[in-house]
A and B are shown apart, each in its own frame.
Chain A
Amino acid sequence: MRSEEEANRAVDLYGDTVRRICMIHLKNRADTEDIFQTVFLKYVLRTAPFESPEHEKAWIIRVTANACKDLLRSFFRSRTVSLDVLIEKPQEIPEDHSDILEAVLALPEKYKDPIYLHYYEGYTAEEIGQILGKNTNTVYTLLTRARQMLKTRLEGVAEDE
C-alpha cells in the first residue's frame, strides 16, 4: 500500500488527465467523484512499482477508461436515474472551443478515448492500442471514423454559423 504522500502526488499529477477522460464519458459531478476515488484508490493499493513515469501515466489512463466503461455499463445505472443527476446541473462545458468539446462528447463511446489520446495526449495508434487493449489497426479505423464524424459535425456547425 502506498503512502498518503504518494497518493497526493498522484492526484496532483494525474488529476487533470483523469478529469478530462471523465468529462468525455460522464455527465455529472457525482460520477466523476466516484471515478476519482476508484482510480486513485487502485493506485494506492497497487504495490508493484512502475517502470517509468510514462508507464505510470499509461496505467492511470487505462484504469480511468475502464472505470468509466464499467460505470456506464453497470446494470443499476442503466435502469435508474441517480438523484444527483436530477438535483445537480450537468457539468458545464467551457465556452472557448465548446464546439470541439461538444463534438467529442457527441461521438459514440468507443471513439472517445482513441480520439482524445491521439489529439490531446499525442499517443500513436500503436500506443493507444496497448493502453486500451485493442489491435493497432482497429485503433487506426476508430481514429479515421472519429475524425470523419468530428469533421462532419464541425463543418455543419461552421455552416450554421
Chain B
Amino acid sequence: MNKEKNFEKNFRDAFSQIHAEDGLKAQTKSYLAQQINKKKRHSFPVLQAAAAAACLFAAVSAGGAWLYLSPASYISIDINPSLELGINRFDRVVSVESFNSNGQDLAEQLDIRYMDYSDALEELLSKQTVEAYLADGAVMAVTVAGSDEEKTNQILENVETCTAGHSNISCHSGDIEEMHEAHSEGLSLGKYRAYLELKTLDPTVTPDDIRDLSMREIRDLIDDLKSTDTGKDEDNTGNSSENGAGNAGSGPKENGTSAGSKRHGHRHGADNNW
C-alpha cells in the first residue's frame, strides 16, 4: 500500500515539474491574437460591401423616387378654377395644385395623379364642372411651362391635340421663371399672364383682385380697357398695338404681355384666344 502511495506521489512530483514554457505560451498567444484579428479583418470587407451595396441601393432608390416624383414641366389650367399639374420626366402627373377655391373643388374631384398627362387632360375636360364652364362660354387657358424647351414644346403639341375639339381653349407655352413669379403672387401661370396683361392697362390691379375672377371676366376686363386705351393713348405699351380690339371670342393673334421681354412662345389653340 505504501509502495502504491509512494508511486503516486513520485508520479505527481515527476509531472508537476513539467510546465508550458513562457516562450511557448507567448508564441501561442500571439498566434491566437493574429487569428482573431484576421477573422475580424476578414469580416470587415463583407460588412463594407454590404454597407456600400445598401448605400448604393438607397441612393438609386432615392434618385429614382426623386426623378419620378419631381415635376419637370407644369401645365397650368385656368377657367375660373385654376389648377396646375406637375408632370415628371416620364410624362406622368405627379402633382395637382389648386390656386383658388374652385380649383380646390375641382382637384378633389379629379383622380389623375400618376396618369399620363394626355389622359389626365382628357379626364379633366370630360368633367361635368369643366364641361359646364366651357358650354357656358367660358374661356380656358392652358399654359405649359418647363425648364426643357424641347420637352415643353412636345407637351404643348400634345395638349393642343387634346384640346383641338374645343373652340374656346387656348394653349400657350411659358417658362419656368415666369411660373415661379406667378407662384410667388399666389397665382397659376395662366392667370398670372392675364394679370400682367391687365396690369399694363390698369396699374392699380392686384393679384387678389383677379384671383377669383374667371378667365372670361379677366379677358373682358382687358378688352374693355384696351378699347378705352386705344381711343386715348395709342402707344401705351408695346402690347396695345398688338392687342387690337376684339371681343372675347376673337382675340389678338399675338398675346403679348407686360412681361413681353421674357421668353414665352405662343401656341394657340383652336381660335388663338384666352
Contacts and interface: CB of A to CB of B under 8 A. Distances in A.
Contact of A7 (B7, B19, B27, B36): B36
Contacts of A20: 15, 18
Nearest to A101: B14
Given A18-B20, A33-B24, A100 B14 contact: yes
Contacts of B253: none
Given A11-B29, A100-B10, A120 B24 contact: no
Contacts of A15: 19-20, 24-25, 28
A97 B18 CA distance: 11
A68 interface: no
B23 to A, nearest CB: 10
A96 interface: yes
A16 B28 contact: no
A3 B36 contact: yes
A30 B134 CA distance: 100
Interface stretch (A35-43, A53-61, A70-78, A81-89): A35-43
A1 B39 contact: yes
Interface in A22-68: 23, 29, 32-33, 36-37, 40-41, 44
A8 B25 CA distance: 9
A48 B105 CA distance: 68
Given A1-B36, A119-B8, A37 B31 contact: yes
B204 interface: no
Most buried by A among B10, B18, B29, B33: B18
Interface string B4-19: 0001101111111111
B206 interface: no
Contact of B17 (A2, A29, A96): A96
Contacts of B35: 41, 44
A154 B35 CA distance: 44
Most buried by A among B12, B14, B29: B14
B99 to A, nearest CB: 65
Interface of B: 7-8, 10-21, 24-25, 27-29, 31-33, 35-36, 39
User: Nearest 9 pairs between A and B by C-beta?
Assistant: A15-B20, A97-B14, A19-B20, A100-B14, A119-B11, A7-B32, A94-B17, A36-B28, A120-B15
